[in-house]
A and B are shown apart, each in its own frame.
Chain A
Amino acid sequence: MPIPDLSILIIDENRIRASIIEDGLREAGHARVVVIHDVNEVGRTIADTSPDVVFIDLENPKRDTLEHFFSLSRAIQRPIAMFVDRSESQMIEKAVEAGVSAYVVDGLKKERVKPILDMAISRFNAFAKLTRELEQARSELEDRKIIDQAKGILMKTRGLAEADAYALLRSTAMNQNRRMADIAQSLVTAAELLGP
């Protein structure tokens, strides 16, 4: 059951990822979600919203700043616990693997926080998967470009048909146990060096 009155602060310099997490929390019925992209704004934001839970991405170098801020904060009277509870080591593992660090106001019941943290972790993982897929698509596109270029060189210098040029690249790659794109790259580099 979502508990809509919980106030949640997300600090993420990556706007796309932040919005993915924000959307997930709103879908789960959490209306009081605030997203900031810069830790420098945190002072004012914390005073305004006094969050029960704070998420920050592990790549953010200002984690130290945030921890220090919490230790001084007048807005949050009690000390903070991180990752829900010190004893929840599996949860902590999962959060760190996903790249999320969570700060929870001490005294908050962990039954209330765990589902939120679970959601954030799965969204972080989903974002990482998206990024990987995008990267893969991009590199496939690059591969195709370089292979086309190599094919062109073979067609021109050896007088091959396109299909034969492709077959030659592929058999060379198989014989040498290398990627076709790598063979193509070597060919292009060599052509540039030897070319007119």
Chain B
Amino acid sequence: MLVLTRKLQEAIKIGEDIELTVLSIDGDQVKLGISAPKYIEIHRKEVFLSIQQENNQAASISLNTFQALKKIKNT
């Protein structure tokens, strides 16, 4: 991993199009500004991980469940 030290208001550039700026530091909270092209998806990592985890759990379904669901009539 590349490690860079930055001060308040300093930035780093990733490739041509992406720029990260340290906007504020307050104790253990760092506020980052990110400018990137619209097609780049930016998510908090824990949100992405929770979706992954939920998908994994959602995929573990049994034939029994399938049959139980089939019995439920349209609402």
- Check if A and B associate: no
- B residues sitting closer than 8 Å to A (CB atoms) are none
